[in-house]
Structure 1
């Protein structure tokens, strides 16, 4: 649907965990418009990654992606029911304004943001924005990242914190966006712990539930002109999907699935 002007825009490719955050923003801050991009082709993503990491590594990552996808089909209903019982809505509301674009990393994004008159943009599960796209944005751009930056940039930060024995950094970050991979200055972070039975298929949902406050606080800070970006002394590393053989090994030896 088309959208009227809105101070807050959330850019995403969708997903139940994203609606948990969007609905929390609406409850606390009022009108929020979602700019919904078409999901990036998995084939294109894997080809790009193979050029960087090699085909053996990417084949192993694909195995994990398929395994967890099948597992999610079985368990996602249970996870949603658990969140719903705690008052969290994993679906868009009937009156949710949505603007559809083909890609977040395109002039269409800046055009949509300008038409909305948005004063802040929160990315939550969408393509990376190039410097060219960022230069066109008329307001601050934040990102919700399901990992503790800079130690767990990239993919599956919660899993990697557990798999590497760093459970104290099971958490999420809201940060300013630059052209790097989760390298912008930090606004807020939250740390917590998984619950029994959690695994790679639902860490994103668990972190979204934990992160409602930091997302709303970061957006509100920008709107009120009181955002205070900070740096971290943690080591910086970018992570990807685990290979299926590493994933099975951590599950069997460390109980981290």
Structure 2
């Protein structure tokens, strides 16, 4: 099975860790590295502003600031340790052809994929792919979405399931990309015994991948081999979510603290 990984250049967990993991069970034929411009990042900010409005956007900014000041350092240290664990288990990422682009839908990406001829592409991108890109791999492009679909589509599905106290839907969805936002055929759900009192939403999101690498590898092989069948979504509700809000984060953590037995020390 030939694979291509698409990820953001600054994300070492994906670029080095998941690349080595992919190479452990497939023929990793190439990596597409996205290096977004400031203009692209500002456009994403404007889209979120239009989506939630000015007052709620302040809530989003407050969450970003809180995360930076209170949580980011610990999560970076944990990610470094997790990457070291991946490198110990799978070795260094192999030297394969790389393509650096600012847009996941650039003509160069299409040419690169046609040249590399993957059976499957694993897309770890914040940018939505166009049909002319995601259809090039023989068995399509797959996403390991942090959230249970269709209930928690779009951004930060794990955060919103935790904030909504929908704990049975805190997980990861393996799905094939289609023209919608996380609306493609679903080939499996994955989770782990998360600790919402001691783990940030970012750590939970990464651990959904880290704790399920073997199961994900097996399911990806089944998709590429034509043995996987999509999940029946009849009667399921669908929801698209966005960036975390500080008000919902604090409410979530208060709910967790209130439910903790009195004898259990706070983290």
TM-score interval, normalised by the smaller of the two chains = 0.7 to 0.9
Q: Deviations over 1:15-74 (max 9, x none)?
A: 244244332222222435221111363321010122232122222112212322344541
What pairs with 1:177-216 in structure 2 (closer than 5 Å)?
A: 177-195=177-195, 197-216=198-217
> How many pairs were matched up?
249
For the aligned residue pairs, the C-alpha RMSD in angstroms reads: 2.7
1:166 aligns with 2:163: no
2:86 corresponding residue in structure 1: 88
Residue 24 of structure 1, aligned match among 21, 24, 35: 21
1:217 aligns with 2:218: yes
- What 5-or-longer segments of structure 1 have no aligned partner? 1-5
1:12 corresponding residue in structure 2: 7
CA contact 2:3–2:120 (8 Å) conserved in 1? yes
Answer with 1 or 2: which has the greater Rg: 2
What TM-score, normalized by structure 1, do the two folds share? 0.84
Determine the C-alpha separation between the residues in 2 that align with 1:92 and 1:48: 39
TM-superposed CA distance for 1:99, in Å, is: 2.1
1:3 corresponding residue in structure 2: none
TM-superposed CA distance for 1:169, in Å, is: 1.6
Determine the C-alpha separation between the residues in 2 that align with 1:227 and 1:238: 26
CA contact 1:121–1:141 (8 Å) conserved in 2? yes
Q: Work out which structure has the larger RCO, using CA pairs closer than 8 Å and 6 or more positions apart in sequence.
A: 1
What pairs with 1:1-257 in structure 2 (closer than 5 Å)?
A: 7-14=2-9, 15-18=11-14, 19-39=16-36, 41-80=40-79, 82-83=81-82, 87-89=85-87, 93=92, 95-97=94-96, 98-134=98-134, 137-139=136-138, 140-195=140-195, 197-233=198-234, 234-255=236-257
CA contact 2:59–2:245 (8 Å) conserved in 1? yes
Determine the C-alpha separation between the residues in 2 that align with 1:74 and 1:134: 35
Determine the C-alpha separation between the residues in 2 that align with 1:57 and 1:247: 13
Using the TM superposition, name which of 142-151 and 192-201 deviates more. 192-201
What TM-score, normalized by structure 2, do the two folds share? 0.81
